Amino acid sequence: MNEIYSETPYRMAREYHHNMLQKSKEAQLVRSVNPHSPKIWDYVALRLGNWLIDLGCNLKSQSIFSQFSKKPS
């Protein structure tokens, strides 16, 4: 077969392969860039974290070490 006839399909196949790789990379970027909307576990974790912080603050405020020492007058 003449080289002229075999070069064109090879070049076309190479360009097609390159285009398909480019499209695949773009699709992968689109999937990875999707905005992460909060799920139910995020809501639960946020509520649990707030509850633990409030509990810690309440325990700390009721601790003997955090009470002001009263000086006799």
What pLDDT sits at residue 44? 95
Residue 5: pLDDT band (50, 70, 90) is low
Is the Cβ–Cβ distance between 52 and 58 less than 8 Å? no
Predicted TM-score of the model (pTM): 0.41
CA distance 9 to 1: 13
Q: Tell me which residue of 10, 30, 33 sits closest to 22, measured CA to CA.
A: 30
Is the Cβ–Cβ distance between 66 and 60 less than 8 Å? yes
- The three-state secondary structure class of 69 is coil
Between 67 and 63, where is the model more confident?
63
pLDDT in tens, 19-61: 999 999 998 888 777 667 778 999 999 999 999 999 999 888 8
What pLDDT sits at residue 9? 82
Q: Over range 1-10, report the average pLDDT.
A: 68
